[in-house]
Amino acid sequence: MKNQMQKIGCVVGLVALLLTSPTADAAPEPQLCAELELRAALLFRVGTASLYLPDCARAEDQVIDRVPKQFSLELARSLAGDDLIESAVETLRKNLELADGAALPEPLDCLARAYIDVEAGDRYDVIYDPEDGLALYLNNEPLKYCPDDGRAELYFLIWFGEEPFHRRMRDELLKRSQTGRS
């Protein structure tokens, strides 16, 4: 009986170890790399932008790599969903060098068209996971999920591409991420 109990204990311990040990190919979880107060024309506060990546020191590479990541914007003012949609679509088209009216790749179009009207104090989170695709959250509630077709990470070109939504925000978030200064 004692020997059987020892065997059961070993099996339970092994199962627990396997369930809690990270696998060799498991991607590290994103961590907060940088935050930045975002202003329009340096006059009025739009909100606070945050960037989350697995390795902050490699931010410039990871913002468009196929690694888990998150961009968040806590808003200081109300914004119309249609304005956010138009901005997302046009910024993606510029960064992907698509002609006006050209269709965006499916996962990018799926998420770009998911924005809704928001009020001051609301928070949008755009989350990318290579295994799961893109997701848009509003105040920690899921709004939209878009499966990855192999290009979903390109959604982050909106904020970190050659033609970003806000150049100073892109540059400062990357700089703060790489220097460890959030």
Give the pLDDT confidence of 141-168 residue by residue, as tens digits: 999 999 999 999 999 999 999 999 999 9
Residue 144 has a CB neighbour count (10 Å cut-off) of 17
With tokens 């002609």, the residue in question is 99
Domain boundaries, the chain: 25-179
Mean pLDDT by 10 residues, the chain (182 residues): 45 37 59 91 86 94 93 96 96 92 92 97 97 96 95 95 93 91 60
Maximum pairwise Cα distance, the chain:
77
Starting at the earlier edge strand, list the strands of the sheet with 133-138. 31-40, 44-53, 69-75, 123-129, 133-138, 141-146
CA distance 180 to 182: 6
- List all residues 6 or more positions away from 162 whose beta carbon is below 8 Å from its beta carbon: 95
CA distance 104 to 15: 45
Provide the residue type at 37 as one letter: E
Residue 182 has a CB neighbour count (10 Å cut-off) of 14
76 burial level (CB within 10 Å; 0-12, 13-18, 19+): middle
Contact criterion met (CB below 8 Å) for 71 and 126: yes
CB hemisphere CA count around 11 (13 angstroms): 6
Q: The CATH number of 25-179 is which of 3.50.70.10, 1.10.1660.10, 3.30.420.40, 3.40.80.10?
A: 3.50.70.10
